Structure 1
Amino acid sequence: MTPIAIEALGLSAGYGGREVLQDVSLTLRAGEILCMIGHNGAGKSTLLRVLFGLHRPSAGNVRIFGDTLPGFTPAALGAAGVALVPEGRGVFPDLTVEEIFGLALWSAGVPKSGQRERIDEVLEVLPRIKEFRTRRAGTLSGGQQQMVSIGRALLTRPKVLLLDEPSIGLAPKLFQDLIRPIAALRESRGMSILLVEQNVREAFAVSDRVLVMRSGKFIFEGAPAELDHARLMELF
């Protein structure tokens, strides 16, 4: 039986008394790429924030590899092998790429003796970073910043990667070049990936399963092949 990487049960959450998630349950299997789609405001980003300990749910619980973490915080999630690439990239514009990576490695507690190996691993997955690693993040294009944001997450050698809308602001070809090597980590490392994405074509090409969210609830779960254009239009 395939182990479960993340199991969320009965999650409800909101902001200022307004409920966004309504009794949501989700299972992400080890080594699986799960794609979550839905209209803007459906609750997808809120769910990722809850799963990474950035927003406290009003009900429900989350288990990571079968365990309920005593302190469900981003630091605890990171230690358990979960990494988040947030929407909007979140890079420090005044720092160089090397400085951003150094800060991430320091924050993760990686000793200096092992930092070079971690960086080399990331550059093997995203080799184009070598071209701009000494530049300040604020001078980079959107695609380059997205590579840095994903690279920063990969430095921690996560077992689970949460990706929130990585294609925003990117040309389709650039997104394709970005997502394919990330998806390949499922084969080489057994990484689980939860991908929130609007570029349905490219996301479905690398995904094992799809969840469709509407108004804080899942209204469809199945294989990408089950969602042709007509079915997608019906669900949206």
Structure 2
Amino acid sequence: MSAQANLQQTNQPLVLETRGLVVGYGGRPVLRDFNFNLRPAEVLCLIGHNGAGKSTLLKTLFGLVPRQGGEILLDGSQLGTVEPRGLTAAGVSLVPEGRGIFPGLTVAETMKMGLWSAGVPVQERSARLDWVMSVLPALKQFYERRAGNLSGGQQQMVSIGRALLSQPRCLLMDEPSIGLAPKLFQDLLQPIRQLQRDTGMSILLVEQNVKEALKISDRVVVMKSGAIIREALPEELNDNAKLMELY
């Protein structure tokens, strides 16, 4: 991690933090007494087996799943009600699992709806869209096409572009590699990594494609059965044998 990022981490509160978080479905706990944090200006990769609670954590942090107990803190301040619109206004954005696009809408229509949803003032929307296109210039190639007619990689790019419309300082990404070849996954993530380095944005990346995700991460948290079992640097998990011990 850069010296600038380390300085930011020293002088700034944690971007996101949970204390004693309790989340479940139908009376069955998924996360219990869960303590977690995302630091300023870092890419944190969250890995673990299916059902470990990774996606549940992301959805809870973004207000899509209610918590039964514990605290969620943003910039060191406890959040009462956690809901997507408020978090978007506070600079947190989500790239959902499965892309979450509307197949019948064109990319242009999707972005127009995203600008409205993000609360971007009308007079700023053109400039905001230009900025997203500068980060993901390939969007221009299929901007007028319907999302349902795009390839998986193109659809994922639309989903990421929509999440960037609010110019977030914290980006939550849930399994962005699903259905993508490793090279295409890297082609998508490298511009986001560069944006993160340029702006100091924090990224929480939930991934099953561990090998590729570690290439752009600063820190790794391993989950199993709703609990954190290890925290490591990417280089500490750089071979399959070490990873297999954790699954």
- Give the TM interval when normalised to the shorter protein: over 0.9
Q: Which amino acid aligns with 2:91?
A: G
- Aligned residue number for residue 212 of structure 1: 222
**In 1, distance between residues paired with 2:17 and 2:23?**
16
- Kindly indicate whether residue 199 of structure 2 is the aligned counterpart of residue 189 of structure 1: yes
1:94 is aligned to 2:104 = yes
The aligned amino acid for 2:186 is: Q
Q: Distance in 1 between matches of 2:234 and 2:35?
A: 19
* Correspondence 1:229 to 2:240: yes
What are the equivalent positions in structure 2 for 1:3-82 lying under 5 Å apart?
3=12, 4-82=14-92
Match of 2:130 among 111, 116, 120: 120
* Residue in 1 that maps onto 2:7: none
Aligned structure 1 segments of 4 or more residues deviating by more than 4 angstroms: none
Residue 148 (structure 1) aligns with = 158
Task: Give the stretch that moved more between structures: 226-235 or 210-219.
Answer: 226-235
Measured after TM superposition, the shift of residue 121 of structure 1 is 1.1
**Cα deviation, residue 2, structure 1:** 4.3
Residue segments in structure 1 that go unaligned for 5+ positions in a row: none
Identity %: 60
Distance in structure 2 (CA, Å) of the matches to 1:134 and 1:186: 28
> Structure 1-normalised TM-score?
0.97
Number of residue equivalences: 236
Instruction: State whether residues 48 and 223 of structure 2, in contact with CA within 8 Å, keep that contact through their aligned partners in structure 1.
Output: yes
Tell me if the contact between 2:139 and 2:158 (Cα under 8 Å) persists in the aligned partners. Answer: yes
Unaligned runs of 5+ in 2: 1-9
* Aligned counterpart, 2:146: 136
Report if the CA contact (8 A) 1:105-1:156 is conserved.
yes
What does residue 211 of structure 2 align with?
201
TM-score (norm 2): 0.93
